[in-house]
Amino acid sequence: MHLTTRIKKSKQMIRLVRPMEVSPSDLIYPIFVREDGKKFEIPSMKGEYYLSLQDAVKTCSKTMELGIPAVMIFGVLRRKDAEGSIALQKNSFHSKVFKRLKKEFGDDLVLISNVCLCDYTEREFCVYTVNGKVLNEKTAVMLGRIGVVHAEAGADVIAPAAMADGQVKAIRSALDDKGFDDVAVMTYVKTDSCLFQPFFKTMTLSTAPRVGVDSSKFRADIINKKMFMQKVDLDISEGADIVIVKPALTNLDLILRTKQRHPTIPIAAYQVSGEYAMIKCTAEEGLLNEESLLMETLSSIKRAGADMILTYHALQAARLLLK
């Protein structure tokens, strides 16, 4: 008689028959570097800290020691301006961060630049708009210019987060024009999720909620897989090297679908701030075990087809995996 329990006889037997496991080399650690140099716990993401540039160097060293190959950089500026032109200034804060980290770590650590207008514009929208209409081309051209600034400073990968149509094409051609044909484009494809909310609180300079543009105009409808795949197809046709599916846990089917449809394109999944909060808060309440929940979610994301996972739990996960 065939018994399914034979291959579950021991923990090691179970490991032996696993087709895959999450490994520290799958992980990417997103970090928040503050221009004002202040280090403190991020109120909307308990357990994670804003870093000064000096702290960022130390954190990156720790990241590398744990076998994590990449960090994603979020720069938290002192001020923003109407059109986000602050992003293009010579010696911008982001440039300083990339220069410093590149000088320190060379090619031993992959530096990924999150590129979005909300990091630089006073209104903190991801895209330019007029009367509520999304201005794709204007947004894409600006993202391309910002991408070049970051590539010049040492970014290895440009990750446009705006969900603008044409963003990958504009960034690719801006990079190629300046000789950065070796810099990859890692495009975000996002569903219109409430799980991003703790993140917005980490990046905003204002306490007022963002009003004026409905994010459903540029993100994909959560229930509509066709709409999501249409954006994946478009970004890949424009030259995306890697696709990020975001959020991860509510889009496991979309990770699988993207993987199946584009088997040669590496797929990343972003375990976002709301997912981080769900794990942290349920653990804090004593409802679930943080480590078990973390590893279960990461494993399910990997099983769905992600080749790499961006997670605020990266350091903790790597430590658990190395135990």
Supply the residues annotated as catalytic: 190, 246
Q: Phi and psi dihedrals of 191, rounded to 5?
A: -90, 160
By CB under 5 A, tell whether 116 contacts Zn ion.
Answer: yes
Nearest to 27 by CA among 60, 58, 67: 67
Least distance from Zn ion to the Cβ atom of residue 124, Å: 8
Least distance from Zn ion to the Cβ atom of residue 118, Å: 3
Beta strands per DSSP E along the chain: 27-34, 70-76, 110-115, 129-130, 133-134, 157-160, 184-190, 242-246, 267-271, 308-311
User: How much helix, strand and coil, in percent to the nearest 5, is found in the chain?
Assistant: 45, 20, 35
By CB under 5 A, tell whether 72 contacts Zn ion.
Answer: no
Closest to Zn ion by CB, 201 or 262: 201
Residues in contact with Zn ion, counted by CB under 5 A, come to a total of 3
Distance in angstroms (rounded) separating the CA atoms of residues 310 and 27: 6
By CB under 5 A, tell whether 118 contacts Zn ion.
Answer: yes
| Binding span for Zn ion by CB under 5 A among 6-14, 40-48, 111-119, 296-304 | 111-119
Least distance from Zn ion to the Cβ atom of residue 74, Å: 10
Closest to Zn ion by CB, 63 or 167: 167
By CB under 5 A, tell whether 42 contacts Zn ion.
Answer: no
Judge whether 245 and 238 are in contact, CB under 8 Å.
no
Closest to Zn ion by CB, 27 or 203: 203
By CB under 5 A, tell whether 163 contacts Zn ion.
Answer: no
By CB under 5 A, tell whether 126 contacts Zn ion.
Answer: yes
Say how many Å lie between the first and final Cα of the chain, rounded: 37
Least distance from Zn ion to the Cβ atom of residue 203, Å: 8
By CB under 5 A, tell whether 77 contacts Zn ion.
Answer: no
| Binding span for Zn ion by CB under 5 A among 87-95, 119-127, 232-240, 274-282 | 119-127
Q: Which residues fall within 8 angstroms of residue 209, CB to CB, at 6 or more apart?
A: none
Distance in angstroms (rounded) separating the CA atoms of residues 271 and 254: 14
Eight-state DSSP code of residue 19: S
Closest to Zn ion by CB, 116 or 155: 116
For Zn ion, the binding residues in 228-287 under the rule CB under 5 A are none
| Binding span for Zn ion by CB under 5 A among 2-10, 25-33, 125-133, 297-305 | 125-133
Distance in angstroms (rounded) separating the CA atoms of residues 176 and 190: 26
Least distance from Zn ion to the Cβ atom of residue 270, Å: 13
DSSP 3-state of 48: coil
Residues that bind Zn ion (CB under 5 A): 116, 118, 126
